[in-house]
A = this chain, B = another copy of it.
Amino acid sequence: MDFTVESATSAVVGSFDATPDPRLREVMQVLTRHLHDFVRETAPTVGEWNTAIEFLTEVGRWCSDTRQEFILLSDVLGVSMLVETINGHEGGTESTVLGPFHMTESPRRELGDSIDLIGGTRVCVVTGTVRTTSGEPLADAGVDVWQCTEDGFYDVQQPDRQPAGNGRGLFRTDAEGRYWFRTVVPSSYPIPTDGPVGTLLGATDRHPYRPAHVHLIVSAEGYEEVTTHAFVAGSAYVDSDAVFAVKKNLMVEFVESTDAGAAAEYGVEAPFVHAEFDIVLHERS
Binding site for B on A (CB under 8 A): 1-5, 8-9, 11-12, 15-16, 18-21, 24-28, 30-32, 34-46, 48-49, 53, 56-57, 59-61, 63, 68, 70-71, 74, 77-87, 98, 203-206, 227, 238-240, 244-248
Contacts and interface: CB of A to CB of B under 8 A. Distances in A.
Contact of A30 (B9, B28, B38, B98): B38
Given A1-B248, A35-B77, A60-B63, 4 more contacts: A28-B204, A30-B41, A31-B42, A43-B86
Chain multiplicity (copies):
2
Given A60-B56, A204-B19, A42 B27 contact: yes
Which among A16, A35, A59, A206 has the highest number of chain B CB atoms within 10 Å? A35
A12 B44 contact: no
Say what secondary structure dominates the interface of chain A: helix
A78 B11 contact: yes
Contacts of A63: 57, 60-61
A264 B21 CA distance: 57
Nearest to A28: B204
Contact of A15 (B9, B45, B98, B206): B206
B3 A36 contact: no
A56 B156 CA distance: 22
A1 B57 contact: no
B78 A32 contact: yes
Which 9 pairs across A and B sit closest by C-beta, in order of nearness? A60-B60, A12-B78, A34-B38, A18-B205, A19-B204, A49-B83, A34-B34, A8-B82, A56-B70
12 contacts: A3-B85, A3-B245, A8-B78, A9-B78, A12-B77, A15-B78, A19-B205, A34-B37, A35-B79, A46-B84, A56-B59, A57-B63
A238 B11 CA distance: 14
A26 B8 contact: no
A239 B1 contact: yes
